[in-house]
Structure 1
Amino acid sequence: MSNASLYQLRGSTAVITLNQPPVNGLGQALRQSLLTSLQRAVDDDAVDTIVLASSGKVFCGGADITEFSTGGALAKPDLPQVCNAIETAPKLVIAAINGLALGGGFELALASDYRIALPQARLGLPEVNLGLLPGAGGTQRLPRLGGVPLALDMITSGRPYGAAQLCDAGVVDRLHDADTDFVEAAVTYAAQLSAESAPKRRCEDIAIDTSELPDNYFTEFRTTIAPRTHGYYAPERCIQAVEAACELPLAEGLQRENALFMECLDTPQARAQQHLFFAERGVGKIPGIDTSSTPVRDIRKVAVIGSGTMGGGIAMNFLNAGIPTIILDLNAEALQRGIGVIRKNYEYTVKKGRLSSEQLDQRMALLQTTTDYTDLDDADLVIEAVFENMDIKKKVFRALEQSCKPGAILATNTSTLDVDEIAAVTSRPQDVIGLHFFSPANVMKLLEIVRGEQTADDALLTAVQLARRIKKVPVVSGVCWGFIGNRATEPYVRESMALLLEGATPAQIDRVHTDFGMPMGLPSVVDLAGIDIVVQARADRRAHTVDLDPSYCAVPRKLFELERFGQKSGRGLFIYEGRARREDPEVLQIAATAAEEFAIEQRELGDEEILERTIYPIINEGARILEEGIAARSGDIDVVLAYGFGFPRYRGGPMQYADEIGLDRVLAGLNKYRKQLRYGETWFKPAPLLEKLAKAGKKFRDYRP
């Protein structure tokens, strides 16, 4: 505990240095050490001022959120107690913010009298992303120091602000941009304040000026953020806490904040969001691979095969990371179109102010093009991004076999196909891997990394680390149809389309899914992706299911035959007129005719049945994926579904959702439809792992192979 913070006298200034690398997490040990050091400085008559500093590159990353599940976050001294002690200390406290100051770290700074920061420092209150609100005074002190609009935006969005922005807003008092020691600069600043007899600046003495806020300001703010906060519990409590800051003295506002924090703490949303937080950080742990002793390959140049939408998007990830990239397309005209699209995408980003013209030029300068495979001889990683057809992909890999240097990683961007079958056409299957980017590839954070039967450990680890380098969330999957994401969501598609045959409308299914928290209902997703793509991608699945269920995806198949491809053709499951859409009675007739063909009786379907029949099979398939070892952890499945398929994050992914509502409830639902439905025995038979865990009263997160 004595080393959790360091104490040093520099003249008449006590420097208390947070010393819990790598992020100075505010666990109980650091909280106690800070409080002890603060009291030591207060009791020392030789000390006039106190500086809070950091021994690392991060000022303070905030609370140790592992303590939320153990109760340690509430152990004394808790963070509110530490922040209150800082604010009420009789001597000036100056926060020296050298890097990230997030959550409780920012709240330490807000409780201080003055704040000095490096220009590159970023400060924020991201608790809302964990289903919480700032619970150590952030909702009360930030509005007093920076105003209500800034506080509401920071607290409800969780986005950090730069030190310069917060200096302009009056939250940060001084920027230190000289090339001198920062802590020494903070000590000098403290001495200056003392010499000037600068006053204590307690937030309890600061009144919030609401005179310029419209009478309905908070109501309008709620309306503005509603589209992105629907289903989340914490944002509304964040707003209520800031409202309390405007209406109550600080002490009462802090009590209100604490009550709202405790409300958030014990909610399904908080558990779900914290589950995803830890799951995302755990995906890089690969069973069977010692990351400390396994070398990684040096990736200095990347090649992409295919210049279409996917190939161009993949290339942009590496250009953004400063990695030279070459795109190959045998069609020179298509290649030039693809390069034009990349430039246009960058130009749009420049127009939005998120990229400079110089950065655009730098990235385009890293890009090469070719129509000749021999030009790939110096690439360290080659990613094939051609049409989703096994024969075409095999042809590409045979060419790569001849042209690529030994040790180059050969990756396929397939979303469903057998990576081992592709690897088998080469003499170096140890170098072959699946890298499944999600569209648009330059935007979507998820990257499924498919580990073939013979994929080398160093190739796999290289891919995982490279994914982090290009700012992707890497999830390792074994080989099977659809890997984790497409396999788990296949029954979601199947059942949604089956429900159309049985009498549900596309609009009803859409509404049930969006009410659950999906950004779009499945029928809308099908129309957006293209009915032709959906049908073609499932052609091989139908070949394996037609004997089991001849009605498999019957409505999309019939729409495909009518050349109703969705949004791009103006008609699919809905009718589209520009961006507007409306229901199409003709689709209901097509579904009724198909139902008659397959001897299916149409009926009125309730919302609960639609939800259970489309969500529970995802969970069931996830259990099989987990039991087969395709995914290493249930959290890996949740990350894939949340980041790649829009499963609502406030539910934590399908496996966390099942853990939350109870596996026994999911099992009972599956067994109910197993008995009721004509194909129940085929599609609703519970996975053995689900039955086993439910019987034992356990959760998916408890499972260890």
Structure 2
Amino acid sequence: MRFSQSVSARLEGGVLVLTIDNPPVNALSAHVRAGLLAALDHAAATAHITGMVISGTGRTFIGGADIKEFGQPMVEPTLPQVVERIEAFEKPVVCAVDGAALGGGCEVALACHGRIAGENASFGLSEVKLGIVPGAGGTQRLPRLIGPIAAIDLIGTGRAVKAREAVALGLADTVVADPVAAAVTVLRAGQPLRRTGSIDVPAADAAAIDAAEAKVLARSRGQLAPAEAARLVRAASQLDLDKGLAEERATFLRLRDSSESAALRHVFFAERAAGKVEKLTDVSPRRIETVGIVGTGLMGSGIAVSALTSGYRVIALEQTQEAAAAGRARIAGILDKAAQSGRLSTEAREACLARLGTTTEATDLAAADLVLEAVFDDLSVKTELFRRLDAIVGPDAILATNTSYLDPDAIAAATADPSRVVGLHFFSPAHVMRLVEVVDCAKTAPDVLASALSFVKRLGKLPIVCGVTEGFIGNRIFSAYRRAAEFMLEDGALPHEIDAALEAYGFPMGIFAVNDMAGLEIAWARRKRQAATRDPAERYVEIADRLCEAGRLGRKTGLGWYAYPNGERIIDPAVTAAIEAARAAKNIAPRAFTAQEIMERLLKAMVDEGTVLLAEGIAARPGDIDLVMINGYGFPAHKGGPMFAAEH
């Protein structure tokens, strides 16, 4: 029987088994909500139906709200109406979750009288990632099941938990291979009406609750929704369910209309758009099973780990046996840490190592479908490497460069077939950072570009396509606002004042602290390369050069824009003196800058450079620039990225 275009059902011995089929993620569209209510009405009116199972098709139970309804007038039945009807239903309702129950999907599960998880199940209230809080009872029902401390963590961070953690927390009842069959069995046995809203919130230590909230707020970097989520979880212990639900709904509606939520929705839709490249609409990617990686330093080993944990076979090339052994040890060490933290099972770690081969023989890369270099960022080194690889790999193999600043077209020109060369600019550490700039070179074949996008997506990362320019999207913008920051140094600001303004805005770290962490010699080498072609009339700040010449290369040397005694970052009077000397040499009378003025100047530099990138066709859309800055450079997501922030 069918209750709406997306909700159907079958009877199994008095149990009505509902199936939600609303591809691709079983979103809670209006017809899903209407179908659920119609099924409840049918079950209530049919005497021989003794209970109901709610399940979903595919890899998702219910993936949350329908993004097509964002910003549209609410259509009844609303999700709170559906959820409240499920919880109050006079016959037992059990959900069979074999896939993701996220956002409103998790709220539906919380309202059911039982929750059976499949082995692939996961549960999460991810609303804070859109600048809102759950709006259908999540903040009031979840703490009743798992306690306020765990609820603050899950709702305040938006993280999802897998099936076994859900059972351990009390969010799910059990994990089974076939949750629908198990749910039917439970209902036939007489599932009691365990209404979540009727449960008292378990008592918890006040100091522990405070600590959980403080941890969430520390991660939020000024975003409003996590703090509101924590407040609402606390309210679940202080208010009856109806009052708690009313307070939650009022907060949800207020945050939904906030600038932060608008910014985070922009980020959400920008991610959806980023993977769509118009010229690739009918292009199929090449098959990639074996990945060659040249160089197993910090970057290469991180890329290798990402490939291994995504199921690829990896062949890692080094120059010597000692370097190859060290590279394997480095990769194994990263996998070990992932296993120790629970992000990777012991079996998965062993399977990754079994797919890893290390070699000193370049000819071993003949078996690779994609070879990615992660060697020293020197044009002669990379072009010579690609010349060698070109004669080794198969005719359909793809060659990718991880260069940060060099011209990938020049690297591609060293090969007989530049059409198979693409840029894959990973960010360090590559096994952690989500962003990859996929560089569409002048002669990159469409199916090579499509293959690169497919590869990056399988790694679980965010690919942003860009054209060829020095520094691509991210480093060009980074260079632009670093110049603006250095101009302010000459004009009267100090590094710690500029960094403090950035951190107050929501960046995890200021630009000078970031430079120290990355190493000042990287940008120094680039400036020296550009010296011969630099316009002498262009303003140039020499302070960073003087620091590098003095051996102050950042954290690795213990001295950079800051000093690092015992690893702790402190303001260094020697740097202040160097800045004052540079001002005096140019007869610049310093003045004070407010934090607001600092941010206005830095944002203007970002937006101006972003506008040029769009005009040059390097970036396809403003949202792509925002995603690069958020995922690669720490721009606060709840501000939407520089292009969004400037527009709004």
Give the TM-score band, short-chain normalised. over 0.9
Q: In structure 2, what is the Cα distance between the partners aligned to 1:173 and 1:312? A: 40
- Map of 2:315 onto structure 1: 326
Q: Secondary structure at the match of 1:435?
A: strand
Aligned: 1:440 with 2:429: yes
Aligned: 1:518 with 2:507: yes
Q: Secondary structure at the match of 2:335?
A: helix
Q: How does 1:274-673 map to 2 (within 5 A)?
A: 274-290=265-281, 293-552=282-541, 554-660=542-648
- Map of 2:251 onto structure 1: 260
Amino acid at match of 2:360: T
1:15 deviates by: 2.2
Aligned: 1:188 with 2:185: yes
Change (3 A) 1:379 1:154: same
- Map of 2:213 onto structure 1: 222
Sequence identity percentage: 41
- Map of 2:87 onto structure 1: 87
1:216 deviates by: 4.4
Q: Could you list the runs of 5+ residues in structure 2 that have no partner in the other structure?
A: none
What are the superposed Cα offsets for residues 366-419 of structure 1, whole Å, 9 maximum, x if unpaired?
222333333322221111222112122111111122222212111111111111
User: What is the alpha-carbon root mean square deviation over aligned residues?
Assistant: 1.9
Change (3 A) 1:222 1:117: closer
Aligned: 1:143 with 2:136: no
- Map of 1:40 onto structure 2: 42
Q: In structure 2, what is the Cα distance between the partners aligned to 1:544 and 1:95? A: 67
Q: Report the more deviating stretch, 634-643 or 315-324.
A: 315-324
1:357 deviates by: 4.4
Q: In structure 2, what is the Cα distance between the partners aligned to 1:349 and 1:94? A: 35
Q: Secondary structure at the match of 1:369?
A: strand
Q: In structure 1, what is the Cα distance between the partners aligned to 2:137 and 2:167? A: 20
Q: In structure 1, what is the Cα distance between the partners aligned to 2:221 and 2:366? A: 50
Q: Report the more deviating stretch, 447-456 or 599-608.
A: 599-608
Change (3 A) 1:361 1:58: closer
Q: In structure 2, what is the Cα distance between the partners aligned to 1:119 and 1:310? A: 34
Change (3 A) 1:94 1:358: closer
Aligned: 1:205 with 2:187: no
1:493 deviates by: 0.9
Q: In structure 2, what is the Cα distance between the partners aligned to 1:297 and 1:183? A: 38
TM-score (norm 2): 0.96
1:444 deviates by: 1.0
1:428 deviates by: 0.4
1:236 aligned residue (227, 242, 245) = 227
- Kept in 1: contact 2:294–2:316 (CA 8 A): yes
- Kept in 2: contact 1:304–1:315 (CA 8 A): yes
Change (3 A) 1:373 1:205: closer
Q: Secondary structure at the match of 2:464?
A: strand
Q: In structure 2, what is the Cα distance between the partners aligned to 1:130 and 1:143? A: 21
Q: In structure 2, what is the Cα distance between the partners aligned to 1:407 and 1:116? A: 47
Amino acid at match of 1:575: A
TM-score (norm 1): 0.88
Q: In structure 1, what is the Cα distance between the partners aligned to 2:244 and 2:199? A: 13
- Map of 1:667 onto structure 2: none
Amino acid at match of 2:581: T
What are the superposed Cα offsets for residues 454-509 of structure 1, whole Å, 9 maximum, x if unpaired?
10000000010011112211111111111111112211111112211122111111
- Kept in 1: contact 2:221–2:508 (CA 8 A): no
Change (3 A) 1:373 1:11: closer
1:520 deviates by: 0.6
Q: In structure 2, what is the Cα distance between the partners aligned to 1:353 and 1:183? A: 28
- Kept in 2: contact 1:204–1:249 (CA 8 A): no
- Map of 1:701 onto structure 2: none
2:60 aligned residue (58, 69, 72) = 58
1:541 deviates by: 4.2
- Map of 1:170 onto structure 2: 170
Q: Secondary structure at the match of 1:447?
A: strand
- Kept in 1: contact 2:153–2:213 (CA 8 A): no
- Kept in 1: contact 2:456–2:463 (CA 8 A): yes
1:30 deviates by: 1.1
Q: Could you list the runs of 5+ residues in structure 1 that have no partner in the other structure?
A: 661-705
Q: In structure 2, what is the Cα distance between the partners aligned to 1:332 and 1:603? A: 57
Q: In structure 2, what is the Cα distance between the partners aligned to 1:588 and 1:173? A: 61
- Map of 2:107 onto structure 1: 107
Q: In structure 1, what is the Cα distance between the partners aligned to 2:210 and 2:355? A: 48
Q: In structure 2, what is the Cα distance between the partners aligned to 1:7 and 1:364? A: 45
Change (3 A) 1:87 1:570: same
Q: In structure 2, what is the Cα distance between the partners aligned to 1:454 and 1:463? A: 14
- Kept in 2: contact 1:280–1:639 (CA 8 A): yes
What are the superposed Cα offsets for residues 609-632 of structure 1, whole Å, 9 maximum, x if unpaired?
211111211011111112222111
1:200 deviates by: 2.4
Amino acid at match of 1:21: P
Q: In structure 2, what is the Cα distance between the partners aligned to 1:221 and 1:398? A: 55
Q: Report the more deviating stretch, 475-484 or 418-427.
A: 418-427
Moved beyond 6 Å, runs of 4+: none
- Kept in 1: contact 2:401–2:408 (CA 8 A): yes
- Map of 2:239 onto structure 1: 248
Amino acid at match of 1:44: T
Change (3 A) 1:513 1:186: same
Change (3 A) 1:169 1:472: closer
Q: In structure 2, what is the Cα distance between the partners aligned to 1:642 and 1:259? A: 30
Amino acid at match of 1:588: T
1:138 deviates by: 0.9
Change (3 A) 1:173 1:310: closer
Change (3 A) 1:579 1:189: same
Q: In structure 2, what is the Cα distance between the partners aligned to 1:609 and 1:95? A: 54
Change (3 A) 1:115 1:550: closer
What are the superposed Cα offsets for residues 89-133 of structure 1, whole Å, 9 maximum, x if unpaired?
222212122221111111111111222222331111111111111
Change (3 A) 1:189 1:526: same
Amino acid at match of 2:544: P
1:84 deviates by: 0.8
- Map of 1:691 onto structure 2: none
Q: Report the more deviating stretch, 319-328 or 431-440.
A: 319-328
- Kept in 2: contact 1:301–1:325 (CA 8 A): yes
Change (3 A) 1:55 1:531: closer
Change (3 A) 1:300 1:132: same
Q: Secondary structure at the match of 1:595?
A: helix
Change (3 A) 1:299 1:145: same
Q: Secondary structure at the match of 1:403?
A: coil
**Number of residue pairs matched by the alignment:** 646
